[in-house]
Structure 1
Amino acid sequence: MADDRPTPRYGELAPEGWVWSPPADPHATETADTAPDGADADEVVSPAPYRVLDASISVFLLVTAVMTSSSSVPSLFDLRSTLDMFYADRGLGEYGGGSAVDIAGAIAAIAQLVLLATTIWLTVRLIGQRRRSWPVPLLMGALALIVTFGCVALALVADPGLLSSLSST
């Protein structure tokens, strides 16, 4: 039963007897069992079930990521003193890598913060959409770990004294 009357344009008065009704809600909560008469079961859209376990794991991983970053980012910004303590404990002398340690530490810290913000944003968005979200913090954590280890390794390799002491022993 289609309404063949013309719809009014913006600024026009509606024809006599014309009634506006809102469009069908694509997020209706009806299921196939309660489909209105004449409607196909395929046309009815229902929301995805809420994933409690998935959301719980995601929140746990996000809290772990925030706690880890809150302790590692300050030490990455001050990587020179961390490496000085490492060298003193091992009896390797003084760090001789120049400014490479400051640059590598800053890059690692900023990368961790950017990855953490991206992870929180994506995970919350996926939880809100009721989609699987736990792989996001897990994979982003692995990526942050790789970037951090790579930057610290570059800072260590920049010191020629460490390489010579390792090759002599």
Structure 2
Amino acid sequence: MADDRPTPRYGELAPEGWVWSDAPQPEDPEPQTEEPSAPKPYRVVDASISVFLLVTAVMFSSSSVPSLFGLRSTIDMFYADRGLGEYGGGSAVDIAGAVAAIAQLVLLAATIWLTVRLIGQRRRSWPVPLLMGALTLIVTFGCLVLALVADPGLLASISSS
């Protein structure tokens, strides 16, 4: 049975019961859920641990970054206390200290950004400052070892004793 009524134009309302005959009809419409999904619960303990770790990281960096930029004086005091003479690594200690300090600041900024984002999304966030702190310690320790290894006099005194 054909519908002899005229097709509605753009913007016009179709009369009651009008069905587009050339439009494909969905075979199995998806069920609509009437209840919206509940928001994720807030993780108070997780956020507290994360904030504690972030505060610890900021305090650690605020004390270590200035000393890393002045690493030459620390190395000179270390050599004087041990009776090792003068540091012979040239500018390696200055470069290693600057790289370690800048790496700490960049990793700290990334840690704060990522942790705050995860807390806002109500996801587990405490592993981020913990792992980034471990990475920061590894990078800092590696830079210090490179600065010490750059001095051939230190290596000679270690191998002779």
What range is the shorter-chain TM-score in? 0.7 to 0.9
* Deviation by residue 1:81-138 (Cα, 9 ceiling, x = unmatched): 0100111111111111001111111000000000000000000000000000000000
Which residue of the partner structure matches residue 26 of structure 1? none
TM-superposed CA distance for 1:44, in Å, is 3.2
> Structure 1 residue 95 and structure 2 residue 87: aligned?
yes
Which whole-Å CA distance do the structure 1 matches of 2:94 and 2:125 have between them?
A: 35
TM-superposed CA distance for 1:39, in Å, is 5.0
Which residue of the partner structure matches residue 116 of structure 2? 124
> CA 1:131–1:100 in 2, change beyond 3 Å: closer, same or farther?
same
Which residue of the partner structure matches residue 44 of structure 1? 36
Moved over 4 A (4+): 5-8
Which residue of the partner structure matches residue 112 of structure 1? 104
Which residue of the partner structure matches residue 56 of structure 1? 48
Which residue of the partner structure matches residue 82 of structure 1? 74
1:70 partner amino acid: S
TM-superposed CA distance for 1:151, in Å, is 0.4
**TM-score, length of structure 1 as denominator length:** 0.76
Instruction: Give the 3-state SS of the residue equivalent to 1:67 in structure 2.
Output: helix
Which whole-Å CA distance do the structure 2 matches of 1:40 and 1:78 have between them?
A: 63
Instruction: Give the 3-state SS of the residue equivalent to 2:39 in structure 1.
Output: coil
Matches within 5 A, 1:25-44: 39-40=32-33, 44=36
TM-superposed CA distance for 1:40, in Å, is 3.7
Match of 1:163 among 130, 133, 155: 155
Unpaired runs of at least 5, structure 1 = 9-14, 17-37
> CA 1:64–1:6 in 2, change beyond 3 Å: closer, same or farther?
farther
Instruction: Give the 3-state SS of the residue equivalent to 1:132 in structure 2.
Output: coil
Which whole-Å CA distance do the structure 2 matches of 1:142 and 1:123 have between them?
A: 15
Which residue of the partner structure matches residue 68 of structure 1? 60
Which residue of the partner structure matches residue 30 of structure 1? none
Which residue of the partner structure matches residue 27 of structure 1? none
TM-superposed CA distance for 1:149, in Å, is 0.3
Q: Which is greater in Rg?
A: 2
With CA pairs under 8 Å and 6+ residues apart, which has the higher RCO, 1 or 2? Answer: 2
1:49 partner amino acid: P
> Structure 1 residue 138 and structure 2 residue 124: aligned?
no
Which residue of the partner structure matches residue 3 of structure 2? none
Which residue of the partner structure matches residue 24 of structure 1? none
